[in-house]
Amino acid sequence: MNIVTSIERAERFQREDAVGIARYAAGSQARFEKLMACMLSDQDHLCKRAAWCVSLAVQIKPTLLSKRKHMEALVNLLGKQTVLPAVRRSCLGVLRDAEIPQPLQEKAIFHCFEIVQDQNQPVAIRSSALQILGNMAISISSE
């Protein structure tokens, strides 16, 4: 299966498509790397669909985020002004359920506060950012 082709070929991208691609990508770190590359692309439709698949793949196999570069890419996406709301929502969903490494926490906190304060952000996105802030506060206080 070619991940890029599978994402692009569907005229209407359905949940079944996303789940199939996520399962395939969760099968190996190399496939997940390709899916992450799609999520970080400049093509809006590819990026949005890949973000959905990434969030599903991480639910299937949470250890896929064990590489710091993936977590760092997700945190950096939060601060990107041109990112689509669907991509930001998927990214926040992944980070909400993950343990953000200490070196990235300051940056994640900064971006989450920016999102929460931005009245133009959809409520679901601001809510997810608040939940991440709460999760990090709990983990920091228990250390």
Q: 39-50, pLDDT tens digit by residue? A: 999 999 999 999
H or E stretch at 93: helix 85-96
Residue whose C-alpha is closest to residue 52's, from 66, 42, 67, 39: 39
Does the pLDDT at position 143 exceed 70? no
Which pLDDT score is estimated for 63?
92
Q: Which range has the top average pLDDT, 2-16, 64-78, 115-129?
A: 115-129
Average pLDDT of the residues in 84-88: 94
**Mutual angle of helices 68-79 and 102-117, in 10-degree steps:** 20
**Mutual angle of helices 29-39 and 44-60, in 10-degree steps:** 140
Q: Both tokens of residue 128?
A: 């997810």
> Whole-model pTM above 0.85?
yes
